[in-house]
Structure 1
Amino acid sequence: MRDDGLDRAIDAAGGIAQLARKIGISQPSVSNWSRVPAQRVVAVEAATGVSRTDLRPDLYSEQAVAAEPLDPIDAARAQEYALLATLLSAPPSKRLLEQLAALTGDATPLGRAHADLARAASDTVAAKIEREYFDLFVGLGRGELLPYASYYLTGFLNERPLSRLRADLTALGIERVANSSEPEDNAAILCEVMAGLAGGSFEASPEAQRAFFEKHVSSWMGRLFADMESAENARFYRAVGALGRALLEIETEAFTFAN
């Protein structure tokens, strides 16, 4: 039996098939949900407009987070990772594009990346980005880019980096979405995991976060973002790549300093 939050998301999307398409996963996967999995909350919220507090009040309600206030820096980190997870998991909706176009920047590398993303969002429409996303990440047979750790680290899909990631996710208590065919080393899923770690949805010490970041994110994702910036089919996603690369550089420096 589905919970109220998931039912609202399905209704807002126009049905199970439409919700699955919007967040880039198979229809049977969504059909088997009884509630929105933690690692899909951000994508479903962006695709449907149903807030995360309604989708998973056990994770995002005031009562759920009141026990220990979140550090503002960690909240900002979680927000940046969640944005990347949303943009990598599916093309942005018209509503999200409008929100992105309203972003403001500053003189910092991340601020400049925000300003560039705002300009890119204001200069395009959702239909064009849907085609761009398809050409980049889906394609006829395969897209221009393969956003998987195994591919970037070994040249093949579903290799040792994926098995190591699964072991570490299990150790952190993060479960695979039931009946999902998408490998966990997809960049969107890893950004969603980092958002959960930074935001406190997944419990992990700063040392565990740093180890996960270095082993499963910074070891390859910077190259993916650089490839997005130079990809033949990229227009809007060049700005997404620049944002991702800027965030990883900041995270790498911060973890190194903390260590």
Structure 2
Amino acid sequence: MNNTAEIQCPRSVTDEDRSRAQMYQLLGALLSGPPSRELLRGLASLQGGDTALGSASKALATLAERTSPEDANREYNNLFIGVGRGELLPYASYYLTGFLNEKPLADLRGDLIARGIRVSDDVKEPEDHIGTLCEIMAGIITGEFESESSLSSQKAFYDAHLAKWAALFFTDLEKAQTAVFYAPVGSLGKAFMAVEADAFALQ
């Protein structure tokens, strides 16, 4: 969970749910900070099929193989930090209201309290950061929190905190002017959010 939230008691999960959680964890790791040399090495071995998710995975593997940690760190800073601010502001409040620290953040904090999820003190960003939300979603899927982890509980969190803006953020990341390594991260996130939306729509 990359120290985003305190881990409780994992439950037994299906292979499909484990794969979903791993994708959320990967997106969370890539969006919460620049990738390490080890993560880049692991990404270089990604495989993919003919789906949008597969194509994005292959593109990410190709770029990971030729991206240095220094280049990735520079790109991450240009995209998300910058001087004053980065090219993108990866927060639910900003995407949904145009301002930081607004009602979506308050709603999220209320939901986390109700679910018994406490974000780690090491996390300095507001909790509605896309990286934090992906990591929390992974923890809900795998049952790492004491809260309900059923599919309906997952859907409720996704609908409340990701469905209305995550795909738009990933589309913006895919097309960002300073994105090279992170362009296929945007493609991967956009494709994965589409898969999640379709699956949850069937519930």
Partner of 1:41: 3
Is 1:144 the counterpart of 2:87? The answer is yes
Q: What is the CA-CA distance between 1:180 and the residue it aligns to?
A: 4.4
Segments of structure 2 that go 5 or more residues without pairing to the other structure are none
Task: Tell whether the 8 Å contact from 1:42 to 1:86 is kept in structure 2 after alignment.
Answer: no
- Aligned partner letter, 1:194: M
Q: Give the one of 109, 113, 117 matched to 1:170.
A: 113
Partner of 2:138: 195
**Cα distance in 2 for residues equivalent to 1:226 and 1:161:** 20
| Moved segments of 4+, more than 6 Å | none
Q: What is the CA-CA distance between 1:79 and the residue it aligns to?
A: 0.2
Is 1:242 the counterpart of 2:187? The answer is yes
Partner of 1:26: none
Q: 1:118 to 1:196 in 2, by over 3 A?
A: same
Task: Tell whether the 8 Å contact from 1:162 to 1:184 is kept in structure 2 after alignment.
Answer: yes
- Aligned partner letter, 2:199: A
Of Structure 1 and Structure 2, the greater helix share is in 1
Is 1:106 the counterpart of 2:49? The answer is yes
Partner of 1:50: none
Partner of 2:18: 75
Percent identity between the two aligned chains? 47
Q: What is the CA-CA distance between 1:165 and the residue it aligns to?
A: 0.5
**Cα distance in 2 for residues equivalent to 1:40 and 1:114:** 21
Task: Tell whether the 8 Å contact from 1:85 to 1:191 is kept in structure 2 after alignment.
Answer: yes
With the length of structure 2 as denominator, give the TM-score of the two structures.
0.93
Task: Tell whether the 8 Å contact from 1:42 to 1:82 is kept in structure 2 after alignment.
Answer: no
Is 1:153 the counterpart of 2:96? The answer is yes
What secondary structure is seen at the aligned counterpart in 2 of 1:193? helix
**Cα distance in 1 for residues equivalent to 2:119 and 2:35:** 24
What secondary structure is seen at the aligned counterpart in 1 of 2:3? helix
**Cα distance in 1 for residues equivalent to 2:41 and 2:4:** 17
Is 1:227 the counterpart of 2:172? The answer is yes
**Cα distance in 2 for residues equivalent to 1:230 and 1:138:** 17
**Cα distance in 2 for residues equivalent to 1:112 and 1:148:** 26
The two structures, once aligned, show a CA RMSD in angstroms of 1.8
- Aligned partner letter, 1:217: L
Is 1:90 the counterpart of 2:50? The answer is no
**Cα distance in 2 for residues equivalent to 1:229 and 1:110:** 13
**Cα distance in 2 for residues equivalent to 1:214 and 1:73:** 20
Q: What is the CA-CA distance between 1:164 and the residue it aligns to?
A: 0.4
- Aligned partner letter, 1:165: L
**Cα distance in 1 for residues equivalent to 2:125 and 2:86:** 15
Q: What is the CA-CA distance between 1:95 and the residue it aligns to?
A: 1.2
Partner of 1:213: 158
**Cα distance in 2 for residues equivalent to 1:179 and 1:144:** 24
With the length of structure 1 as denominator, give the TM-score of the two structures.
0.74
* Higher relative contact order, structure no. (Cα contacts within 8 Å, ≥ 6 residues apart): 2
**Cα distance in 1 for residues equivalent to 2:76 and 2:193:** 22
Task: Tell whether the 8 Å contact from 1:84 to 1:240 is kept in structure 2 after alignment.
Answer: yes
Partner of 1:11: none
